[in-house]
């Protein structure tokens, strides 16, 4: 499943499928990008990050892709599990202190 | 072993009251933040402090006054509460530029403020 994150859209995927969550960022000066996961009733938690001198970074079951030409970031989650259900945010950082969060995407994992 | 803690978790109050939210981090970080999350989950930075000094103040009404008594604490005081202040407020911290250039943020559990 794939979605563009504006106005908190919802992405529904079957358990075991791959998920792709997209994010458009705004500032050319942004030098560092972070994906956060926010579960219900909790604060955002760090998932993975990428610096502007990279275009891909992989973690455990997650991959972040960065396209600076079109100011686009994506988060890929492999073999999506029920525990992945949450709201996902991208954040752009203009070092050292300025962080701008995207509008978020709600991921629902269907059993 | 809570890294970033906030109190209270829930706050229900009448319009016009004054209230405070406290935040503490035990990570030894230099930089702390306050964010407001509205009902549509939009997260907006309000303030940033580095080593007790105000760095960012994002066009927040002056009814909101942050205070950092030391590097580990950043409290938020709100005067004359309005209905539109109802939201979830998150505190966060990061190591800061003295430690490294690229810093992810560590968020607290949030304080849900309801103004009646």
Q: Rounded to an integer, what distance in angstroms lies between the CA atom of residue A80 and that of residue A59?
A: 14
Please state which of the ranges A1-15, A55-69, A78-92 shows the lowest mean pLDDT.
Answer: A1-15
Using the beta-carbon criterion (under 8 Å), do A34 and B4 form an inter-chain contact? Answer: no
| Other C-beta atoms lying within 10 Å of the C-beta of residue A71 | 15
Q: Looking at CA atoms only, how far is residue B6 from chain A in angstroms?
A: 11
Please answer yes or no on whether A93 and B106 come within 8 Å at the CB atom.
Answer: no
Span B63-81, pLDDT tens digits: 999 999 999 999 999 999 9
**Which residue in B has a C-alpha nearest to residue A8's C-alpha?**
B40
Chain mean pLDDT for chain A: 92
Residues of A whose CB is below 8 A from B90: 43-44
pLDDT value, residue A107? 97
CB-based contact (8 Å) between A95 and chain B?
Answer: yes
**Mean residue pLDDT across chain B:** 94
Chain B closest CA to A101's CA: distance in Å? 6
* DSSP strand pairing (B43-50 vs B106-107): unpaired
pLDDT at A19 over 50: yes
Closest residue of A to B90, CA-based? A43
Does residue B44 contact residue B60 with C-beta atoms inside 8 Å?
no
* pLDDT score, position A5: 41
Rounded distance, CA B30 to CA B71, Å? 6
DSSP helix/strand/coil, B112: strand
């Amino acid at each position: 499943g794939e979605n563009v994150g504006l106005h908190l859209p919802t992405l529904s995927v079957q358990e075991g499928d791959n998920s792709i969550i997209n994010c458009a960022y705004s500032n050319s000066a942004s030098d560092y990008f972070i994906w956060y996961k926010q579960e219900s009733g909790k604060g955002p938690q760090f998932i993975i990050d990428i610096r502007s001198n990279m275009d891909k970074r992989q973690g455990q079951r997650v991959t972040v892709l960065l396209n600076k030409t079109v100011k686009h970031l994506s988060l890929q989650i492999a073999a999506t599990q029920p525990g992945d259900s949450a709201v996902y945010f991208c954040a752009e950082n203009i070092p050292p202190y300025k962080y701008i969060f995207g509008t978020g995407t709600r991921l629902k994992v269907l059993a | 072993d809570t890294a970033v803690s906030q109190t209270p978790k829930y706050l229900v109050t009448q319009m016009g009251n004054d209230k405070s939210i406290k935040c503490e981090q035990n990570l030894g970080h230099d930089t702390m933040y306050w964010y407001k999350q509205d009902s549509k989950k939009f997260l907006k930075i309000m303030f940033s402090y580095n080593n007790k000094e105000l760095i960012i103040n994002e066009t927040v009404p002056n009814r909101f006054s942050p205070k950092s008594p030391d590097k580990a604490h950043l409290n938020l005081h709100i005067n004359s509460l309005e209905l539109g202040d109802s939201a979830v407020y998150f505190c966060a911290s990061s190591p800061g530029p003295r430690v490294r250039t690229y810093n992810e943020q560590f968020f607290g559990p949030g304080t849900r403020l309801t103004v009646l």
